[in-house]
Amino acid sequence: MPADRMLPTEQAADLVALTREIAAKELAPLASEYEAASRFPREQFRVLGKAGLLGLPYPERWGGAAQPYEVYLQVLEEIATAWMTVGVGLSVHTMACYPLARFGSDTQRDEWLPDLLAGDVLGAYALSEAGAGSDAAALTARAVRDGEDYRVTGTKSWITHAGEADFYTVFVRTSDTGTEGISCLLAVADTPGLAVGPAEHKMGLTGSPTAQLIFDDARIPIHRRMGEEGEGLRIALDALNSGRLGIAACAVGLAQAALDEAVSYSIQREQFGRPIIEFQGLQFLLADMAAAVQSARATYLEAARRRDAGLDFRRHASIAKLVATDAAMKVTTDAVQVLGGAGYTRDFPVERYMREAKVPQIFEGTNQIQRMVIARELRKAARSR
Amino acid sequence: MNIVVCVKQVPDTWAERTLRPADSCLDRASVDGVINELDEYAIEEGLLQAEAHDGEVTILSMGPQKAAESIRKALSMGADKAVHLVDDGLAGSDALGTSLALSTVLARIGFDLVILGAEATDARMGVLPAMLAERLRVPQLSLARKVEIDGNTVTVHRLTEYGYDQVVASLPAVVSVVEKINEPRYPSFKGIMAAKKKPVETLSLADAGIDPAQVGLGAAATEVLSFAKRPPRQAGTIVKDEGDGGSKAAEFLAAQKFI
Ligand SMILES: Cc1cc2nc3c(=O)[nH]c(=O)nc-3n(C[C@H](O)[C@H](O)[C@H](O)COP(=O)(O)OP(=O)(O)OC[C@H]3O[C@@H](n4cnc5c(N)ncnc54)[C@H](O)[C@@H]3O)c2cc1C
């Protein structure tokens, strides 16, 4: 049963209807097969791009759709319900565009943003390194000025879309002044000196490639720097604030898929002479799953509406990411329970959902880091009172 | 070139569909409405022909208020404008009444080419294209899997059991299409935004000059006396392989006209 949504405009409703149609016809039928084969659905991103879904929250001036986060995130949720790899991919692409869209100069935006939003190219966001995960400011990939270029050397780890992306939004160290020494560059995929490491063998989200990006004296023009030198960490964290809302929406979409599967199975599976949904023990499990999905959705939408209204939403984004991804873990685990032995097999998608639900608790700031952010915002608010 | 595509909103094919006990009419209110699948191919063909021949595509739909959703979708795919014939007096119209109403509007708005899906997934009569052509006194080219327009001539490949017939007629004409003809496009977000600004003319029976006595359930020449749920599926035929399984299977398929 598709999620029951309250959307702000008729166009938003038409947009969600279009997303559902594409998800049902182009995404859902392929998901299990592609995930089992660790195959990345590059062509499906082009279908989304053609429909205008790869630039939803960005200004129309550069080819975006100028949609509020309230609408963009619900589109994203619908896509993640059909296929988590594609939902996460769209969220990552949107985040990869953010530094240019938000911090680029008009010249930079006029030159590159239309291509990034047009739907044919795909982006990646490269912040993490082997030694800089939760502690992103510890990154060491180094960019040294040489004439009109930076010469970049270092290795980025865990990069979603590595090897598939057409451009990389990369964070590098331009000086040794700690958090003040990081800058943001926009690298094209065919930059000489940029190589991609072997794909990680992951527990889930296997259709989405994750690998290292290895820069070996790669030249990136200085005019491809977003914002000022030293502004990089601020840009990275700002992008993550919005990115987290995307991950929250994907987690809710995944949980919705697990709930739908659990409900439809429990209506047709019979034990003791009746459908198992008639047993109160199972009803309460399903009811708790539905409550978790709906409250997680409400939480990310509240954060989104604050963002759309121009209010501070950092605490709300972290709470949404924490609540939604924990909900997805719980709901997908319970969905396996509802399907019993069948749920534990690869003949049904719920074991895959459960594996996929683990990673949103880890990336874009682990849920421990989200709690740190939430507590920091609480303390800040208390002090300023 | 002025192309009119007739579009019907039907209950979602995947939903469970029922007839209302009170008047034996299809219960349209309780399920989601979608564009009749073959009509999406008709829209796509209209758009392709309009692109190739510098034409304009008008969507014509007869149906309740809710059909406006389907009209919007057709406009967001790229059609230029729409006419929505909506009147309580039309409810329950059979194919004769529907063809009368649609042909009256078609005569009023004018056309070089009318395109429709070969049948609708709800009633599956498949007679509307013929009735429209007859009422409008123009040629009918049915079951097209390919359409070519050259000046004042339209040529179609008409799907047959053995392949296709080539059928030629002069414009104006009515063409019905099958799903082999093309691959309907998805709307795009830009299309959705553009659709908002496209003109949709809403006509009542009176506006369109249609005699209310000739349409609607009361005027229907057919009547549903009773109906029953589809019986559960029967067990299939089991072919036991005694060395001749292949030919038995082939015989079965031939008997069912699959091969
Ligand atoms: C599938 C996948 C895709 C990814 N995609 C991208 C991408 O596209 N771009 C990108 O830049 N990165 C990406 N990442 C990296 C991801 O953001 C990091 O894995 C994440 O930030 C955690 O870093 P880490 O793995 O080094 O764990 P660590 O930082 O080593 O953390 C290990 C554990 O310690 C805990 N911990 C660490 N510090 C603290 C603290 N101060 N207080 C309490 N607990 C703490 C963590 O919560 C965690 O439980 C991806 C990761 C995965 C798995």
Give the SS3 label for residue B187.
coil
Q: What letters, b where the CB count within 10 A reaches 16 and e where it falls short, cover A219-244?
A: bbeeebbbbebebbbbbbbbbbbbbb
The encoded tokens of residue A254 equal 């995944």
- Average pLDDT, stretch A118-142? 96
> Chain B interface residues facing chain A, Cβ-Cβ under 8 Å?
72-73, 76, 186-190, 192-193, 195-196
Amino acid at A3: A
Q: Answer for the pair B160, B195: CB distance below 8 angstroms, yes or no.
A: no
Give the SS3 label for residue B41.
helix
Asked if B196's CB is within 8 angstroms of A15's CB, the reply is: no
Asked whether the bond before A360 is cis by omega within 30 degrees of 0, the reply is no
Which spans in B33-67 are helix H?
37-52
Asked if B186's CB is within 8 angstroms of A47's CB, the reply is: yes
What ipTM does the predicted assembly reach? 0.83
**Can you list the residues of chain B whose pLDDT is less than 70?**
none
Asked if B188's CB is within 8 angstroms of A14's CB, the reply is: no
Ligand 1: lining residues by beta carbon, under 6 Å: A 92, 124-128, 133-134, 158-160, 202, 205, 210, 359, 362-364, 366, 368-369, 372
Half-sphere exposure in the Cβ direction for A72 (13 Å, CA): 30
Amino acid at B136: L
Cα nearest neighbour of B73 on chain A? A14
Domain-embedded: residue B10? yes
Q: How many domains does chain B contain in total?
A: 1
Which residues are A196's β-sheet partners? Answer: A213
Q: Answer for the pair A44, A26: CB distance below 8 angstroms, yes or no.
A: yes
Asked if B188's CB is within 8 angstroms of A51's CB, the reply is: yes
Q: Answer for the pair B141, B154: CB distance below 8 angstroms, yes or no.
A: yes
Half-sphere exposure in the Cβ direction for A190 (13 Å, CA): 0
pLDDT 10s digits, A272-301: 999 999 999 999 999 999 999 999 999 999
* B193 vs A contacts (CB less than 8 Å): 11, 65
Domain-embedded: residue B38? yes
Active site residues of A: 364
Using CA atoms, how far apart are residues A317 and A315, in angstroms rounded to an integer? 5
Amino acid at A270: E
Instruction: Give me the torsion for CA of A139, A316, A363, A38, rounded to 10°.
Output: -140
Cα nearest neighbour of B187 on chain A? A51
The residue whose CB lies within 8 Å of the most ligand 1 atoms, and thus the one to mutate among A134, A182, A213, A233, is: A134
Cβ within 8 Å of residue A12, ≥6 positions away: A67, A71, A74
- Average pLDDT, stretch A31-36? 98
- pLDDT value for A28: 97
Domain-embedded: residue B235? no
Using CA atoms, how far apart are residues A377 and A371, in angstroms rounded to an integer? 10
Q: In degrees rounded to 5, what are phi and psi of residue B184? A: -60, 140
Using CA atoms, how far apart are residues A76 and A65, in angstroms rounded to an integer? 14
- pLDDT value for B124: 78
* B189 vs A contacts (CB less than 8 Å): 15, 18, 51-53, 56, 65
Which ligand 1 atom is at minimum distance from the Cα of A202? 1
Using CA atoms, how far apart are residues B25 and B90, in angstroms rounded to an integer? 13
User: For chain A, how many residues are written?
Assistant: 385
Amino acid at A203: M
Give the SS3 label for residue B181.
helix
Domain-embedded: residue B259? no
Kindly report the three-state secondary structure assignment for every residue of chain A.
CCCCCCCCCHHHHHHHHHHHHHHHHHHHHHHHHHHHCCCCCHHHHHHHHHCCCCCCCCCHHHCCCCCCHHHHHHHHHHHHHHCHHHHHHHHHHHHHHHHHHHHCCHHHHHHHHHHHHCCCCCEEEECCECCECCCHHHCCCEEEEECCEEEEEEEEEEEECCCCCCEEEEEEECCCCHHHHEEEEEEECCCCCEEECCCCCCCCCCCCCEEEEEEEEEEEEHHHEECCCCCHHHHHHHHHHHHHHHHHHHHHHHHHHHHHHHHHHHHHCEECCEEHHHCHHHHHHHHHHHHHHHHHHHHHHHHHHHHHCCCCCHHHHHHHHHHHHHHHHHHHHHHHHHHHHHHCCCCCCHHHHHHHHHHHHCCCCCHHHHHHHHHHHHHHHHHCC
- Average pLDDT, stretch A170-175? 98
Q: What is the CATH number of the domain that holds B141?
A: 3.40.50.620
Beta-strand relationship, B173-177 and B113-117: parallel
Q: In degrees rounded to 5, what are phi and psi of residue B226? A: -155, 165
Domain-embedded: residue B36? yes
Rounded to the nearest integer, the mean pLDDT of chain A is 97
Amino acid at A63: G
Q: Which of A171, A191, A190 is nearest to A181 (CA)?
A: A171
Ramachandran category for residue A376: left, alpha or beta (phi over 0 → left; psi -120 to 50 → alpha): alpha
Domain-embedded: residue B138? yes
**How far is the centre of ligand 1, averaged over its atoms, from the C-alpha of A363 (Å)?**
6
Residue span of the structural domain in which B210 resides:
2-219
Asked if A14's CB is within 8 angstroms of B73's CB, the reply is: yes
Q: pLDDT grade, residue A1 (50/70/90)?
A: low
Cα distance from B151 to chain A (closest Cα, Å)? 33
pLDDT 10s digits, A221-272: 999 999 999 999 999 999 999 999 999 999 999 999 999 999 999 999 999 9
Rg of chain B, C-alpha, whole Å = 20
Cβ within 8 Å of residue A115, ≥6 positions away: A121
- pLDDT value for A192: 97
Half-sphere exposure in the Cβ direction for A208 (13 Å, CA): 26
- Cβ–Cβ contact A53 with B under 8 A: yes
- Helix, strand, coil: what percent of chain B each, to 5? 35, 25, 40
Using CA atoms, how far apart are residues A169 and A186, in angstroms rounded to an integer? 5
C-alpha distances (whole Å) from A249 to each of A244, A314, A322, B52, B97 are 9, 16, 11, 42, 49
Specify the residue with its C-alpha closest to ligand 1, atom 12.
A128
- pLDDT value for A216: 98
